[in-house]
Structure 1
Amino acid sequence: MNTSAFAILPATAARGALSIEYRWIGVERADAPLAVFLHEGLGSIAIWKDWPQALCERLGMRGLVYSRPGYGRSTPRPHEVKWPVDYLERQACDVLPALLDALDVSAAQRERMWLVGHSDGGTIALHYAARFPHALAGAVAIAPHVFVEDVSVAGIVATKAAYEQSTGLRERLARYHDDVDSAFYGWADIWLAPAFRTWNIVDQLGAIRAPLLAVQALDDHYGTMAQIETIGEAVPHARVVALAEGGHSPHRDAPQSLNDAIAQFVLEQRQQAVSA
């Protein structure tokens, strides 16, 4: 990938001004559709490593990766600020559109745009697709969350314990975030908050009109197949794919299987669009 740049998002009534770390992929493919990559709850540009570039090359797309506020080199979350229960929806409906505006991604480009989200990023992709049903070509949600499961909470409790003990987790994450405690506790505190246990976006999914691929590995320790099965029930045109393995991060642990599923889906959608 190219060196990171920074976009300044102006303050709004709901938030202050933000500096957002971002990178373009495949800028030489100027006329190609854009894929926007939305990272996990502890992710950043750097944590993606080279997977977005490999997928863009396979699909013949341009790519945009960015670190959400609180992550990577973007504006850290002030330690006294807690993410609200609807924090993922705010990222989808406020921050992402503002970033696209700041980067001059036109309405015509957005109509050809694909969102590729992992975990929290998968949920953000679903929110965006529901709120802006005609402002994208399709979405891929990898290990997304649409409601809270006990296995998710248990996994985060275990991860928090590892972070606060001498396991090396905090030191490893600190390589990727300017303020590692801001990144970690922003994610852990909201997911473990009592008010978040009833969080549920299933009722919003029916507004999704764009092609949608939902992928989950059977050995995911942060969620079960109930997540993508629920998406399939709420969005009848969605394709639901179960991977035999890949854990919670199949782009890292089973990239071939994941990339095959994504490439097949995107290619079919292109063929259908041409023949329509």
Structure 2
Amino acid sequence: MAVNHNLIEDRFVDVPGGRIFVRQWQPAEPRSAVPLVLLHDSLGSVGQWRGFPLHLSQQLQRPVIAYDRLGFGQSSARSALPSANFIVEEAEVIFPVLCQAMDITRFCLLGHSVGGVMALTIAATQAEACEATITLAAQAFVEERTLEGIRAAQLEFAQAAAFNKLVKWHGEKARWVLDAWTGAWLSPAFRSWRIDPCLPQINSAVLVIHGDNDEYGSVAFPRHIAAGVNGRVEQVILQQCGHLPHAEQPEMVLDLIADFIQS
């Protein structure tokens, strides 16, 4: 029987606008003290990473940290919907406060979907502190497939059974979470958004992972990100994989991340 030697710690951190829920997985004998910080997707939360952070911490033998953004999971509720500049705001306003509160001076980043976009943005704005950046199913611009996928999800979440899955993770904040996602990405003001300004500013090595069947974005996204990064970049297109690489092909993704971080 495998023995879990990881310590799991939960805490709340005060940030502008409320407080965020943070969970840390700490191995007993870490090879590195530099944490890998996870950034969740548009409907995500700490809980929705499921067993992935623990497996990451065990395989990498370093701390892994995940947090619920304001309005999500166990973090403070929000009333106003995010602005069109919400990605940059997360990178410039919230993330530095989290690092200061947890005494994090250097870090690696891993983000899923829009969390991957936030990871790239943080890597650009805090280039000297970021050692490595990993994206899973990150967007590079607003593609028609992205909008079609969101509209299809809107119809799905109109059904009580689907919406109740959001309630399981976000409680009374579930409606806000859904409206924040669809409202931001379907807004005409967001159609011109692109990741391009951030990419040349990233100093860290970058690993871009994307599924060939991602329902929210084609392989044009990882190719665009990889082409725009100045430094070392690795791009992996997973075959027969959708928008959740870490859930659909967890062993492959864990191995890719471990090889990348250790190299």
Alignment TM class, shorter chain as reference: over 0.9
Match of 1:26 in 2: 26
Distance in 2 (CA, whole Å) between partners of 1:192 and 1:181 is 16
**Unmatched runs of 5 consecutive residues or more in structure 1:** 269-276
For 1:172, the equivalent position in structure 2 comes to 165
Alignment-derived partner of residue 255 in structure 2:
260
Q: Distance in 1 between matches of 2:68 and 2:249?
A: 23
Output the CA distance in 2 between the equivalents of 1:26 and 1:204. Answer: 31
When residues 28 and 156 of structure 1 are mapped into structure 2, their CA distance, relative to the original with a 3 A threshold, is: same
Task: Letter of the 2:239 partner, please give it.
Answer: A
1: CA distance, partners of 2:260 / 2:113:
19
Letter of the structure 2 residue corresponding to residue 101 of structure 1: Q
Separation in structure 1 between the aligned mates of residue 85 and residue 28 of structure 2, nearest angstrom? 37
SS in 2 for 1:175: helix
CA contact 1:141–1:215 (8 Å) conserved in 2 = yes
**Equivalent-residue separation in structure 2 for 1:261 and 1:64 (angstroms):** 19
Kept in 1, the 8 Å contact 2:27–2:57? The answer is: no
How far did 1:255 drift? 0.6
The aligned amino acid for 1:215 is I
Q: Is contact 1:29–1:62 with CA below 8 Å preserved after alignment?
A: no
Contact map agreement 1:120 1:144 (CA 8 A) in 2: yes
SS of the counterpart of 2:116?
Answer: helix
Alpha carbon RMSD of aligned pairs, Å?
Answer: 1.5
Q: Are 1:198 and 2:192 counterparts?
A: yes
Shift of 1:7: 1.3
Paired with 1:59 and 1:94, the residues of 2 have a C-alpha distance of 29
Q: Aligned partners of 1:33, 1:104: CA distance in 2, in Å? A: 11
The TM-score with structure 2 as length reference comes to 0.92
* Partner Cα distance (1:123, 1:252) in 2: 19
Is the Cα contact below 8 Å between 2:196 and 2:228 reproduced in 1?
yes
Q: CA deviation at 1:165?
A: 2.6
Cα displacement (A) at 1:197: 1.0
Q: Which residue of 2 aligns with 1:53?
A: 54
Q: 2-side partners of 1:88 and 1:27: how far apart?
A: 31
1:57-136 alignment runs, 5 A limit: 57-78=58-79, 81-105=80-104, 107=105, 110=106, 113-136=107-130
- 1:219/1:98 Cα in 2 relative to 1: closer, same or farther (>3 Å)? same
Is 1:7 the equivalent of 2:13? yes
Contact 1:77 1:186 in 2 (8 A): no
| SS across alignment from 2:169 | coil
Cα distance in 2 for partners of 1:228, 1:93 equals 24
Which residue matches 1:273?
Answer: none
Q: Is the 8 A contact 1:77 1:183 kept in 2?
A: no
Deviation at 1:76, TM superposition (A): 1.5
Deviation at 1:29, TM superposition (A): 4.1
Query: Offset of 1:74 from its aligned partner?
Result: 0.5
**Is the CA contact 1:55–1:259 (under 8 Å) kept in the aligned structure 2?**
yes
Q: Which amino acid aligns with 2:95?
A: L
Secondary structure (helix, strand or coil) at the match of 2:110 reads: strand
Question: SS of the residue aligned with 2:130?
Answer: coil
Identical-residue share of aligned pairs (%): 30
